[in-house]
Structure 1
Amino acid sequence: HGTHSNVVRQSTPSGVTTCRAETGNMQARSDQSTDEIQGRADFDFLRYASCWEDADVLIEALRPQAGKRVLSIGAAGDNAFALAATGADVVAADINLAQLACLELKRAALLALDYQDVIAFLGVQDADDRQQTYQKLARQLSDDARCFWDHHPSRINGGIVHQGKFEAYFQLFRTRVLPWIHSKKTISALFQPREDDERFAFWNERWNNWRWRTILRVFFSRFLMGRLGRDPEFFRYVTGSIGDQIQERVQYAMTTLNPAENPFLSYIATGNFSIALPYYLRPENFNRVREGLERLSWYHGTVDAVAQQHAKSGFDAMNLSDIFEYVSEQTAESIYRKLLSHANPSARIAYWNTFVPRRCPLNLRDRVQPLDGLSRELHARDRAFFYSHFQVDEVLATDA
């Protein structure tokens, strides 16, 4: 349990004897990818301490099961864990070693601790002994991951699910902005069980006031989100105002969907998953998630490079997160084409759009069938409400 026999780690480049997480050497080598965002955005720190994508929707889209191989963006690990819990073999890739350090530490905790200790150590519940727990888990980590966390003891002590740049952005919103708009009583009332018509009434009568509308546009503007939440380069291909779109999607999450079942809304409004848990942390999934970790391998590099290096018998499903959002249409087509060469017939490919519409490139439509009906159905249930679109494509059986 907890060994790394199935994990191939990149060796530290010659001449670099200190931790790659601390020297600016976290970025994947340039020969590993054509992915242009790698050369523009900063990948030397933890961007996301949780996966901000709905694993339930992803599992329905990709149909992972025993005997299938899945390629996945690593991110914070959550959705790679969820996919492996279905019985599938999962290969995770990330160009950011800090993200892989996050994945590794969560994995070590899930393997070694009981359920209550896992959620306490990760930061979902209170704990005062996280550093002691970490010392027990550290021996299960790769050198890079252990070095990263050894250099960030305060992040361990604070609970790692709260330690990404994106989480800090939402923490700023919750502590400094939201109190100017709504009382604690109103925020708590948001998560009370209601029927559909009652949720719309709550939105109209108590939530959607002029302060909310005004501040939302400012705080979730491209300018502030780029500098405080993500990376300015992530918005290179965004056109037009994003404030209206976010307002519309938040309304949808608070009215059409049920806030009491939404882990993403729970975190943004309360600062934790106190109202609802993500898939990999739900108690009913715990044993399956833990068992699935033996079928998970992870690699440092871009998703197309990792797909090529570890293709073996090909992949039956691919979780691409929102990677096409940050690159030009030409680069998106190049990545998609490379991934297709490692996709088995009838493989499912899933990805999100936030502000930039990206679909299967027209030049590849003879090899791929966009599942538009399924995509719309799943997006309508997607609790990660900030995405404008969720797309599922299926590789045609003739592409053998």
Structure 2
Amino acid sequence: MGFFGNLNFTSANEDSRSELAAIGTQRGTIVTLTGSGARALDLLLGAADQVLALDMNPAQNALLGLKMAAFDVLDHDALLAFLGVTASDDRAATYQALRPALTPDDRAFWDARQKILARGVIYAGLWEKVLRFGARATRLWRGQARIDALFAAPDVDVQAALWRQYFDDRAWRLAIRALGQRWVWTRLVGEPGGAFLPPPRVVEARLAGAFTGAAGRFLWRESDFASLILRGTIAPPAALPLHLLPENHDGIRAGLARIRRIDGGLLDLPRLGVQGVTGFSLSDFGSYCDAATYAQVWQAVLQVAAPDARFCERIFMNDLQLPDPRIVLDRALSDRLTAQDRAIIYTLRAGRLAV
């Protein structure tokens, strides 16, 4: 099927606290990229009247549909078990219980993927498989005891010291550089964003610096991304995305009707008849763009934006310049979100659209 037909993202891999801080107070219609469905579900914790979940890959929208049905039918413990966060031996029966809540298209999609459902969808994505492979390598290389000590650190000072002593060494940085080759991602992994990676030395400097900095800013046992990348799992009670925290379950369930799923990309927004959008959660769409396409996407966003709409964008490696003066960056907010974001690897851009 290729990248735009497979499940590529199934857990979260971002920290929606940043998106909620940037656009969460906006009423009206918010646009987000569907991905794993985490952003759309997390944004229900904000003030938006409608969340438009947009994705070029129908598989990702089908995943969001499955998660929405699971929220609608299951209590919190059953939801975690069905998704694969916790153990279960009856996911097939659970699927049959929530199957009537699916749309016909979603039902057909998931009826054909019973093996994925039986294992739990939370780790079924391409990126989740890559990150879990890396976690297994880290466990073999560094030892489970050191990883456990890192996640049991009583404060960020101890955590940072453990990271520097046992993890942030020449071998770690050379491993990042080796994996920062474009061909590794485009040919071996099948990730088209690999075509836009900077040189391996830049990848090494950015990622190694990001992890070292984050080790001294927040406890990694409270980050589902840190847990996935180093332990290979997201782990209750704290290392969960916002929508899977128990205190948010009822609120997410009550807001499900505010989500509308659309098959399409950001470039399609004008032809979809979407107008007056008050907020944009853009993920790292620039990871898949050259400069010309990046500018075209922003023009589509500006075309459908309401006056003074807010945005939140993530930058991974492809650090493209904002292409239009109407995109007004709030540097103080962006810097604060970057420092606080528990997904570690991103630079955040947040601000308003002067349209």
TM-score, length-normalised on structure 2? 0.93
How many residues in Structure 1 have an aligned counterpart in Structure 2? Answer: 350
Letter aligned with residue 108 of structure 1:
A
Q: Is the 8 A contact 1:165 1:228 kept in 2?
A: no
For 1:339-393, what per-residue CA distance to the aligned partner results, in whole angstroms no more than 9, with x for missing partners?
11111111112111111112420xx20x232111211111111111122x21113
Say whether residues 1:283 and 2:246 are aligned partners: yes
Residue equivalent to 2:231: 270
Say whether residues 1:182 and 2:145 are aligned partners: no
For 1:174-193, what per-residue CA distance to the aligned partner results, in whole angstroms no more than 9, with x for missing partners?
22x11332111111111113
Letter aligned with residue 339 of structure 1:
V
Q: Is the 8 A contact 1:46 1:99 kept in 2?
A: yes
Residue equivalent to 2:302: 340
Match of 1:373 among 328, 332, 335: 332
Cα distance in 2 for partners of 1:174, 1:226 equals 21
Letter aligned with residue 292 of structure 1:
G
Cα distance in 1 for partners of 2:283, 2:272 equals 20
Letter aligned with residue 96 of structure 1:
N
Cα distance in 2 for partners of 1:307, 1:290 equals 30
Cα distance in 2 for partners of 1:90, 1:338 equals 18
Q: Is the 8 A contact 2:312 2:349 kept in 1?
A: yes
Residue equivalent to 2:312: 350
Residue equivalent to 1:53: 14
Residue equivalent to 1:34: none
- TM-align CA RMSD: 1.9
Cα distance in 2 for partners of 1:46, 1:285 equals 25
Written as runs of structure 1 = structure 2, the 5 A alignment for 1:300-315 is: 300-306=263-269, 308-312=271-275, 314-315=276-277
Cα distance in 1 for partners of 2:22, 2:321 equals 16
Structure 1 residue 216: deviation in Å? 3.6
Say whether residues 1:173 and 2:134 are aligned partners: yes
Secondary structure in structure 1 of the residue aligned to 2:196: coil
Secondary structure in structure 2 of the residue aligned to 1:236: helix
Secondary structure in structure 1 of the residue aligned to 2:250: helix
Structure 1 residue 227: deviation in Å? 4.3
Structure 1 residue 68: deviation in Å? 2.2
Match of 1:253 among 202, 214, 220: 214
Q: Is the 8 A contact 2:270 2:303 kept in 1?
A: no
| Identical columns (%) | 28
For 1:215-271, what per-residue CA distance to the aligned partner results, in whole angstroms no more than 9, with x for missing partners?
34334544334445561x312233212123212112223233321211101112222
For 1:136-162, what per-residue CA distance to the aligned partner results, in whole angstroms no more than 9, with x for missing partners?
222222333222222211110111011
Cα distance in 2 for partners of 1:239, 1:76 equals 26
Q: Is the 8 A contact 2:174 2:204 kept in 1?
A: no
Written as runs of structure 1 = structure 2, the 5 A alignment for 1:195-214 is: 195-214=155-174
TM-score, length-normalised on structure 1? 0.83
Cα distance in 1 for partners of 2:51, 2:216 equals 35
Structure 1 residue 329: deviation in Å? 1.2
Structure 1 residue 315: deviation in Å? 0.6
Say whether residues 1:77 and 2:37 are aligned partners: yes
- Gapped runs of 5+ residues in structure 1? 1-23, 25-40
Letter aligned with residue 393 of structure 1:
G
> Which moves more between the two structures, 279-288 or 194-203?
194-203
Letter aligned with residue 143 of structure 2:
S
Residue equivalent to 1:191: 151
In structure 2, do the counterparts of structure 1 residues 192 and 243 end up closer, same or farther at CA, with 3 Å as the change threshold?
same
> Which moves more between the two structures, 144-153 or 118-127?
144-153
